[in-house]
């Protein structure tokens, strides 16, 4: 009886160990989206590792590290990736331009998602995917360095790990992108079709986000993403916004910036005391 118990225990331990070894790590953002839940990112715009680290453990699913519209340097990005190791939010990067080298630099720091602005043609969409995938799936150059340290994968090569886990987000924010959105959404490897409403409204209607042209373009983008079973993304500034947009099919959200949250967080303290800064709409700052 005792020998049978020992044998059964050993078999159970072996099977448990085997099952654990076969279970590969998966990008939590991808898992959240697969479950039909919203993935919300905090937008990082200041050149501060401390800010990125605090935001990474505030509950957000990912960090939207802004390299297109902010002074964040490649060096600071590397430090942010290191500082957020083990914290909840995954590091994603909006690169300044859709080029192989910009995606390469972002990924080699350890980013798990690359956000490509002005994805205006299917050629640019294919280039975005190629920049994020190692051969034979793409053209990413092999020199991961920090990325392989940030994401150790003992049961597979970093290259295989990255091809499974790196996400590709294509932003549609001009007329050409709208015109080609069906072809863009059809590109294999594009994970998220993201609407850039600010640029889209300026490109199509001089900044009028309520213009019929903008609404028509938005509906066309939504339809194409759904037709090709791509996740829909857009900015979401509040819980109410996120819930409303989810009803339209959106699940990937760019949340407010740390500076925006800092300003809004100060208001409950200062408003009741009638303390305000200078309003540049009523008084010049110079």
Strand, helix or coil for residue 65:
strand
Tokens of 76: 């600071």
Euclidean distance between CA atoms 129 and 193, whole angstroms: 13
Euclidean distance between CA atoms 113 and 111, whole angstroms: 6
Contacts of residue 275, defined as CB under 8 A and 6 or more positions apart, other chains included, come to none
Catalytic annotation on 180? no
Strands 113-116 and 167-172: parallel
Radius of gyration of the chain (CA): 22
Among the listed residues 54, 69, 159, 228, the single catalytic one is 69
For residue 84, say if its preceding peptide bond is cis, omega within 30 degrees of 0. Answer: no
Contact 179, 224 (CB under 8 A): no
Contact 27, 165 (CB under 8 A): yes
Q: Count Cβ atoms within 10 A of the Cβ of residue 56 and give its class: 0-12 exposed, 13-18 middle, 19 or more buried.
A: buried
Which residues are designated catalytic? 69
């Amino acid at each position: 009886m005792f020998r049978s118990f020992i044998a059964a225990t050993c078999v159970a331990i072996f099977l448990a160990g085997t099952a654990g070894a076969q279970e590969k790590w998966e990008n939590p953002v991808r898992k959240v989206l697969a479950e039909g839940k919203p993935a919300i990112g905090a937008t990082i715009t200041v050149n501060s590792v401390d800010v990125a680290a605090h935001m990474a453990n505030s509950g957000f699913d990912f960090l939207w590290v802004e390299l297109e519209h902010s002074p964040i340097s490649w060096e600071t990005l590397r430090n942010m990736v290191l500082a957020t190791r083990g914290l909840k939010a995954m590091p994603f990067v909006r690169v300044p331009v859709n080029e192989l080298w910009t995606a390469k630099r972002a990924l080699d720091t350890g980013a798990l998602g690359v956000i490509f602005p002005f994805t205006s043609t299917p050629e640019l969409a294919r280039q975005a995917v190629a920049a994020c995938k190692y051969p034979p799936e793409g053209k990413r150059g092999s020199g991961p360095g920090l990325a392989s340290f940030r994401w150790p994968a003992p049961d597979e090569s970093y290259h295989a790990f990255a091809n499974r886990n790196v996400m590709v987000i294509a932003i549609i924010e001009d007329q050409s992108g709208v015109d080609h959105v069906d072809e863009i959404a059809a590109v294999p490897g594009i994970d998220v079709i993201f609407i850039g409403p600010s640029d889209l409204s300026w490109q199509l209607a001089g900044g009028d986000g309520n213009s019929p042209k903008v609404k028509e373009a938005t509906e066309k983008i939504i339809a194409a993403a759904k037709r090709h079973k791509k996740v829909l993304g857009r900015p979401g500034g509040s819980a109410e916004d996120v819930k409303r947009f989810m009803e339209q099919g959106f699940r990937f959200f760019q949340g407010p910036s740390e500076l925006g949250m800092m300003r809004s967080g100060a208001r409950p303290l200062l408003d009741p005391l009638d303390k305000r800064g200078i309003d540049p709409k009523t008084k010049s700052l110079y």
